[in-house]
Amino acid sequence: NAGVTQTPKFQVLKTGQSMTLQCAQDMNHNSMYWYRQDPGMGLRLIYYSASEGTTDKGEVPNGYNVSRLNKREFSLRLESAAPSQTSVYFCASSPVRASTDTQYFGPGTRLTVL
């Protein structure tokens, strides 16, 4: 049982480049989330998806787009990367809602934007 998987584990981009972070879960969960974690900070929600075909903004959505490709997969896209987007990105999933169900996190993608 893999749980939540993320690719890639590490990535270095130049300012202005684009990339997509991939996330997949095999627990048949309805809800999926993208968070970022900066040094000395807690996690901040970027976007979430309550079900296939729906997405909603979180606390810090600017500069990002997401796609809920199917029930298993939720991708995060940076169209034009900026140094301020250097961070560790975590994908998570919950059976229904993060506040009432256990939220399971992936291992993270460490992104550096030069």
100 binds another protein (CB under 8 A): yes
Can you read off the two tokens belonging to residue 18?
Answer: 């684009």
Kindly tell me which residue out of 13, 23, 92, 111 binds another protein, with binding defined by CB under 8 A: 92
CB distance 106 to 93 below 8 Å: no
Distances (CA, A) of 71 to 12, 22, 35, 111: 29, 13, 18, 25
Place of tokens 């009432």: 100
**Residue range at the interface with another protein (CB under 8 A); choices 19-27, 65-73, 74-82, 102-110:** 102-110
Query: Which one, 3 or 16, has the nearer CB to another protein?
Result: 3
Which stretches of the chain bind another protein, using CB under 8 A? 4, 31, 33, 40-45, 48, 50, 56, 58-59, 90, 92, 97-100, 102-103, 105-108
